[in-house]
Amino acid sequence: MAGFYTLVRVVGSSLVVPPVEEIFYRSFLYRYFVKPDFLTIPLGRFHALSFIVTSVIFGLAHPDRWIPGIFCGLAYQWLVISNKRLGDAITAHAVTNLLLGIWVVWKGAWNFW
């Protein structure tokens, strides 16, 4: 049963969490802070305050690892801005979570979950 839970955790954090979080943080929240009618803001628009605030909120949503969370938030948002594609951030987030999951299982570093 523990192996099944671990598999579900790794797969879920790699395939389910990234699209949900990236749509919320990078697509909705970032652009909403620029303008409440967020759909009128293109994905590639840079807005310094929104860039920082959204990344900090993303980091704080990961309380045990908030500093790396902020840096990941900055990197993921930069991918969206520079490539004008949300999918790049989703892919980067998925790879990050997959590698973290593999590392946690391999090293037995369960405190990272």
78-101 tens-digit pLDDT: 999 999 999 999 999 999 999 999
* pTM for this entry: 0.91
Q: Which residues of 28-62 are buried (b: 16+ CB within 10 A; e: fewer)?
A: ebbbebbeeeeeebeeeeebeebbeebbebbbeee
Residue ranges of the domains in the chain?
2-112
DSSP type of residue 36: S
Question: What is the per-residue pLDDT across 10-68, written as a single tens digit (0 to 9) for each?
Answer: 999 999 999 999 999 999 999 999 999 999 999 999 999 999 999 999 999 998 899 99
